[in-house]
Amino acid sequence: MLKNSSILITGGTGSFGNTFVPMTLKKYNPSRLLIFSRDEMKQWEMAQKYQNDPRVVFVIGDVRDKDRLSRALDGIDYVVHAAATKIVPTAEYNPFECVKTNIDGAMNVIDACIDRGIKRVVALSTDKASNPINLYGATKLASDKLFVAGNGYAGMHDTRFSVVRYGNVMGSRGSVIPFFQSLVATNELPITDERMTRFMITLEQAAELVWHAFEDMQGGEIYVKKIPSMNILDIAKAVNSSAKLKFIGIRPGEKLHEQMIGFEDAPYTYGYKDYYKILPMIHNWHNDLLRIKDGIKVANDFIYSSDNNVEWMSIDALKQWINQNRPKMGIN
């Protein structure tokens, strides 16, 4: 599907984009892969890697600016919407800016993609959108609802929208592993709560989930990857087993455990070999056989959270992953 196509990724200079772009170039050889983002320095740095590759194009723009977004979408077939204000404390203290990017920006993407006749759009979501307790999660829940409803909003247009949802991305900028690594010299690691658990997914797995969504989607599905969990103490041990642990308490808006599928979603959720699929509640789409395919309905009391997971990552497995991915995280 993506082979020889034209793809645009919003917020494409982030951790996800820096993994998705080379993987997609190698696997699908798109005719054009356009990076749309507002940070000129990140674009300049990323562009150095592709200065001899005419397939990769960089455009400065903000999803808050619908006209600029529409111009960038000219001739595009597929869109990955990765742009977001996503640092939880930043969103708590700057709520209006978070709403402008995550909600208003999502609406701009939906409108512009419909107007430009984009074939399919996959939006990136987060575990924090499931039963949100912080503003970031609330705005991403609103964004998810917008993209799901966008399939009806498109009317007679052929544009289709779906969402992929995943938890803590291992090694991504601002995440716990590189943060702990930056403190190795101090031999002290801050721990919010010893009970805290997190889902663990690699950037490569996140990119592959987006590929699968493009291939599988009918419109309105939320795809959730089956991934292992870890306790925060085990993550700390994998990074520096000799470090002193300093307990600092949970940050504003932070959850003790991550949740990707809530109790209320269970009646609309189906399980597959490597992922779950939450089908839309609206328009009776959750009964559509084209969307269900070979899925198996989960139990009505099903909840997918990092503390009740059946799969757990060991300390040794994380140590091995860290050693293999040091260069990607800028670690010597």
| Per-position DSSP letters for 92-147, written without gaps between them | HH-HHHHHIIIIIHHHHHHHHHHHHT-SEEEEEEEGGGSS--SHHHHHHHHHHHHH
- Give the pairing of strands 269-271 and 32-37: unpaired
- Minimal CA–CA distance to 53: which of 36, 73, 33? 33
- Catalytic hit among 42, 86, 128, 225: 128
**Cβ contacts of 327 within 8 Å, gap of 6 or more:** none
Q: With contact defined as beta carbons under 8 Å apart, do 279 and 221 qualify? A: yes
Tell me, rounded to whole angstroms, the distance of Cα 69 from its chain centroid. Answer: 20
Determine contact, residues 295/289, Cβ cutoff 8 Å.
no
In a 10 Å sphere around its CB, with 0-12 CB exposed, 13-18 middle and 19+ buried, how is residue 249 labelled? exposed
CB 141 within 8 A of CB 129: yes
State both tokens at 207.
Answer: 């990119």
First CA to last CA distance, the chain: 39
**115 Cβ contact list (under 8 Å, min separation 6):** 70
Q: Contact 181/318 with Cβ under 8 angstroms? A: no
49 is catalytic: no
Catalytic residues: 128
